[in-house]
């Protein structure tokens, strides 16, 4: 699946222009929001209509009103899918949300070319995702540095130890996301975050991505790892009472974390 997405992205990149116009948006730092969260853990709530694994999550999809609901909860940041082909997202959703919602906005897409980094800035993103599985070490370094020079924060996504090693050998990332979903099989396992936790540098902000749905999930992650935040899509999208769900996640608190190194 990931291969198929990359083939499509290569096609899309060919039709991107060579120059982009930078508009003046107020920057909201994803890093700062996660470093000093309002919630007990930093919450990045995703605006996602559909996914290749689940199909359409919500029929009546109004990205701006979803983002405004997130802003009211509140959450620390918003992730917006801009991929059209596989997730039914759109770049305009991100721009519209940036213009109307005062939270850090992460562009969620499959970046494989520097033009997409510049395009993200033009869209109004505060941060981008770089997926280690689809990038060489040299590309990771190049896009990471380029993004920072444009004042974009970067969340680097990894799935396993070799990817993490590749990332750490080229950059000193401020934010790392461990994706619990295997992008080839689409299965999620929170053990992915647990397994990688000991290898995430202490000074790096650590996000667990995908497959978080219940307070048991949240407590599992808080008990076994030193995560700073969660990236949640589906659970929010299909829940009508998002506020109660979020409150419920932190109600029971955590027993002392077993995680110590």
Ligand X SMILES: O=P(O)(O)OC[C@@H](O)[C@@H](O)c1c[nH]c2ccccc12
List of residues contacting ligand X (CB under 6 A): 46, 48, 108, 131, 157, 179, 209-212, 231-235
Q: Known catalytic residue: 179?
A: yes
Which is closer to ligand X, CB of 101 or CB of 235? 235
Q: Known catalytic residue: 108?
A: yes
Which is closer to ligand X, CB of 59 or CB of 258? 59
Sign of the dihedral defined by the CA atoms of residues 199, 204, 40, 241, in that order: negative
Minimal CB distance to ligand X: which residue? 233
Cβ-based neighbours of 94, under 8 Å, separated by 6 or more = 80, 82, 105, 107, 123, 124, 125
Query: Which of 76, 119, 163, 209 is the catalytic position?
Result: 209
Q: Known catalytic residue: 210?
A: yes
CB-based contact 217:246 (threshold 8 Å): no
Query: Which of 49, 98, 119, 157 is the catalytic position?
Result: 157
Q: How far is the CB of 19 from ligand X (least distance, A)?
A: 27
Q: How far is the CB of 221 from ligand X (least distance, A)?
A: 13
Which is closer to ligand X, CB of 126 or CB of 234? 234
Closest CA to 126 of 102, 162, 93: 102
CA distance 247 to 118: 37
Task: For residue 183, give the 3-state DSSP assignment.
Answer: coil
Q: Known catalytic residue: 9?
A: no
Query: Which of 28, 79, 180, 210 is the catalytic position?
Result: 210
Which is closer to ligand X, CB of 5 or CB of 171? 5
Q: How far is the CB of 26 from ligand X (least distance, A)?
A: 25
CA distance 209 to 12: 26
Query: Which of 9, 49, 98, 108 is the catalytic position?
Result: 108
Closest CA to 171 of 203, 146, 144: 144
User: What is the end-to-end Cα distance of the chain in Å, rounded?
Assistant: 36
Query: Which of 28, 179, 208, 228 is the catalytic position?
Result: 179
Q: How far is the CB of 163 from ligand X (least distance, A)?
A: 13
Which is closer to ligand X, CB of 104 or CB of 233? 233
Q: How far is the CB of 109 from ligand X (least distance, A)?
A: 7
**Cα distances (angstroms) measured from residue 224 to each of 156, 180, 194, 199, 220:** 21, 14, 6, 13, 6
Catalytic residues: 46, 48, 108, 157, 179, 209-210
């Amino acid at each position: 699946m990931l291969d198929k997405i990359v083939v499509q992205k290569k096609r899309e990149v060919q039709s991107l222009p060579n120059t982009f116009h930078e508009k003046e948006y107020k920057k909201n730092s994803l890093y700062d929001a996660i470093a000093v969260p309002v919630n007990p853990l930093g919450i990045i709530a995703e605006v996602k209509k559909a996914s290749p694994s689940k199909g359409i999550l919500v029929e009546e999809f109004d990205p701006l009103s979803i983002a405004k609901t997130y802003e009211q909860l509140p959450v620390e940041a918003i992730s917006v899918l801009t991929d059209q082909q596989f997730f039914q997202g759109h770049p305009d959703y991100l721009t519209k949300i940036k213009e109307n919602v005062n939270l850090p906005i992460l562009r969620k897409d499959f970046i494989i070319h520097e033009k997409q980094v510049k395009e993200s800035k033009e869209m109004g993103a505060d941060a981008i995702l770089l997926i280690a599985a689809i990038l060489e070490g040299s590309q990771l370094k190049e896009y990471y540095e380029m993004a920072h020079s444009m004042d974009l924060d970067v969340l680097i996504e990894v799935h396993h130890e070799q990817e993490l090693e590749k990332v750490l050998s080229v950059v000193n990332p401020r934010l790392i996301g461990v994706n619990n979903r295997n992008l080839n099989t689409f299965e999620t396992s929170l053990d992915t975050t647990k397994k990688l936790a000991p290898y995430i540098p202490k000074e790096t902000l650590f996000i667990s991505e995908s497959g978080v749905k219940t307070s048991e999930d949240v407590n599992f992650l808080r008990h076994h790892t030193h995560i700073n935040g969660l990236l949640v899509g589906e659970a929010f999208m299909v829940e009508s009472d998002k506020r109660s769900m979020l409150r419920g996640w932190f109600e029971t608190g955590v027993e002392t974390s077993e995680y110590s190194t």
